[in-house]
Amino acid sequence: MLKVVLFDLDDTLVDQEGASRAALLGWLPELGLDLDDLDELVTAWGIIAEDAYGRYQRREITFAGQRRVRVREFLGADATDDEADELFTGYLTRYERAWTAFDDAVPALRRVRDAGLVVALLTNGDAAHQRLKLDRTGLAEHLDVVVASDDLPAGKPDPRAYAAACEILGVAPGDVLMVGNDVEKDYQGPLDAGLGAVLLDRHDRYPEVERRIRTLDELLPAT
């Protein structure tokens, strides 16, 4: 019996991709980079960020360390830690200002809670940073439990992440439905760990996935 709906955060409830792009629009000229190459630079930043964050999730580097890696690789600069931190701040302050929840996020969270289910979050993000994001976007009050991967043995899609989240929630994996935008971390990983899963495919990238929705408005408590 379904007891918990477990949401992802970035690009599921919060428009992380849009916030990152907005931050780069302001940050890149500060670095002397040409906005004519914006799409190429946004793609490069995203690839570098995904790789660096994966290293952080595997506990190979610290949270601060992955930020420094992103700056050094993106700029091709041999910056000291202090220099990299200062450079990243130029991106970070703009990124945080651009955080917004998707219009369908709060209604979906309310609908799940109104159905008598626990509304929970499982994020690979740093706990303090993600809680700040939840507070600033007004999502915090609509969540019953927040689980961040730095409180767990490993991050998604490691099966230990889902098992530990279920233990924190006090439920069996079969009582949980995971909802998120990443086909590996939020769909196949949870299924392999014994959870239910629905993929949020806002951009219609995964037509082959059996259980997917295009917006959170399609998510019903009985899903």
Q: Which of 64, 97, 130 is the last residue of a domain?
A: 97
In a domain, 223, yes or no: no
In a domain, 193, yes or no: yes
Same domain for 164 and 85, yes or no, is no
User: How would DSSP label each residue in the chain?
Assistant: ---EEEE--BTTTB-HHHHHHHHHHHHHHHTT--GGGHHHHHHHHHHHHHHHHHHHHTTSS-HHHHHHHHHHHHHT----HHHHHHHHHHHHHHHHHT--B-TTHHHHHHHHHHTT-EEEEEESS-HHHHHHHHHHHT-GGG-SEEEEGGGSSS-TTSHHHHHHHHHHHTS-GGGEEEEES-IIIIIIHHHHTT-EEEEE-TT---TT-SSEESSGGG--TT-
Same domain for 64 and 134, yes or no, is no
Q: Which of 97, 129, 145 is the last residue of a domain?
A: 97
Q: Give the pLDDT confidence of 23-80 residue by residue, as tens digits.
A: 999 999 999 988 888 999 999 999 999 999 989 888 899 999 999 999 999 999 899 9
Q: Which of 49, 73, 97 is the last residue of a domain?
A: 97
Question: For residue 11, what are the domain limits?
Answer: 4-15+100-218
Same domain for 108 and 11, yes or no, is yes
Q: Give the pLDDT confidence of 164-175 residue by residue, as tens digits.
A: 999 999 999 999
pTM for the whole structure: 0.92
pLDDT of residue 222: 65
Q: How many domains does the chain have?
A: 2
Same domain for 65 and 171, yes or no, is no
